[in-house]
Amino acid sequence: MVGVIGGDFRWETGEKLKWADDGKLSGEPRDVAFFPRAAAERNCLILPPKVRPRAHVYTESRSPEVMVEFINQNCNTYRTLEGNLSFQGLHREEILGNIFRASDISGFTMGVKFGLTNASEQCMVNSNTGTTDAETCGLYEGVQSHDEFRTVGGHQNSEPVTLHVENDVRDRTESPRAREQKESDKMVECERIPVPTRAEFFHNYVKRSQPVIITGAMEQWNVFEKWSNEFLRERFGKEEVHIKLTSGGEYEGVEDASLWEDFGTFQIPRHVRDQLPFPDMVVVRPATMNLKFGKFLDMIEETARSEVKNMSAYLEYSSIPQYMPSLEADISGFPFVTNLLTRRHLNMWLSDGHTLGKLHFDPFDNLLCQISGKKEVLLFEPHDNTRLYEAHIPEAILGLNNRTGKFRRKTLLDSTSMVMSPVDILKPNFERFPKFADAVPVNCTIEEGDILFMPAHWWHEVQSYPSPTQHRNLAINFWYEPFLTKEFPCQTCSLDVNPHYRHLLG
């Protein structure tokens, strides 16, 4: 909203207009006031008292071109003086119109994965359209249960179809319908590429919000042999770290709140509860502990040796610059990211290799670098979050008796998670979450030396596996200010170009 100041402006209630920066007012009658569009308040379910927006003021050049550019910069708009889209605006539209969608190249949905579409149902559909044939009717034969799919790690999987489609060698004589049916029983798998140029990475993956596995980018890193447990213990063993603990290796799963001791007495305020689509569920936060890094290494090594694994310890989201700054010398930067994305965090992830990070998204562009062991990352696109049931979900935190080593479901919290899905992708409740049947999974399994580019807001579940020789799983990740971002939690909000990267639009 923009207007020209001319006198004593007041709201309809008589309340006087307040300025964001009174010191910039010149007092001239042709000062220009503007109100940047305010984002919806989505973080807190207890809304603050209504506050009138404060006006910003422009007192610089009266040149129309300069004023329009000032408004564009401060209100995140893309208009020319004539009201048309600017070149930057056209570039933005082109980007938003070409975002990658796994659902465009594969019909393999979670419903197909778990056998919700059977042969008789498929034939019934095809008979209604007049396209029934023996191949189509036999497609789902013998796939009535998810147990019949090949299992990889903790996730069910089928033979993959790569995201890279330029070298498509399918038989062009078969009908599009037949090709679609053949591909619908294949899970999409991440494209694997050698180290890209900065232009290739930006135009083919960052701008398109497309996951990709990059190979060879870590070859010069002095980490694979050097960062042994012995080296880390000697260098950082006396440093205190913050770790997470669970009984079975599952982190941030969602479960029934009635399993918790506080359930009968814990009260959620009515006006908050009414805004929760799943008030009967909780995100289970792991128990936490502060201890010396050397003690943590002892824990994961002991767990790796034990046949009975009733405790899992995880160093996750651990800031390398804060806790182990000298390690950055062993990590060279990526030329394909330099002067492109703005780094926000550099984290270490270390465990015995038997962890499962449940389905969630991160509001950062992510380069996940695998050093030891492997990770099977199952991703879902962020374009229709009704399928993933994005929402505020109440939280609870596990307790741990340090003397007995036993976990306890006791404490429900007065906070919510905004990035977790209530759907258990290993055992989905399609009756409660029917739209999840239409979600298209993408398998991005990374081995030692691989880097996974995971665009912001892509949902992912991560199953880790230990190195057969080092008996651990070690990765680091770079979180960057996202190029494409969205408001959250919001099931229907779309990705948009982050104003932070406006300069990349031209």
**Residues 70 and 58: beta-carbon distance below 8 Å:** yes
Residue 243 has pLDDT above 50, yes or no: yes
According to DSSP, residue 53 is labeled P
* Burial (Cβ within 10 Å: 0-12, 13-18, ≥19) of residue 55: buried
- 14-72 pLDDT, tens digit each: 888 888 876 566 666 667 778 888 888 898 888 777 778 888 888 788 788 998 998 89
Beta-strand ranges (E) seen in 257-355 are: 281-285, 287-292, 312-319, 343-351
**Structure-token match 């015995």, residue found:** 352
Q: What is the pLDDT of residue 27?
A: 64
Q: What residue ranges of the chain are covered by domains with CATH 2.60.120.10?
A: 192-505
Decide if 458 contacts 382 (C-beta within 8 A): yes
Closest to 157 in 3D by CA, of 452, 467, 442: 442
> If pLDDT is split at 50, 70 and 90, which confidence band does 127 have?
very low
Q: Quick one: CA dihedral 332, 336, 339, 340, positive or negative? A: negative
DSSP label of 348: E
How much is the pLDDT for 117? 63
pLDDT digits (tens, 9 = 90+) for 198-229: 999 999 999 999 999 999 999 999 999 999 99
| CATH numeric code, 192-505 | 2.60.120.10
Question: pLDDT band at residue 153, thresholds of 50, 70 and 90?
Answer: very low
Give residue 6's pLDDT. 57
Q: Nearest-CA neighbor of 397 among 268, 266, 285?
A: 285
* Per-residue pLDDT at 159 exceeds 50: no
Which pLDDT tens digit goes with each residue over 322-379? 999 999 999 988 999 999 999 999 999 999 999 999 999 999 999 999 999 999 999 9
| Predicted TM-score (pTM) of this structure | 0.85
Query: In the chain, what percentage of residues exceed pLDDT 70?
Result: 83
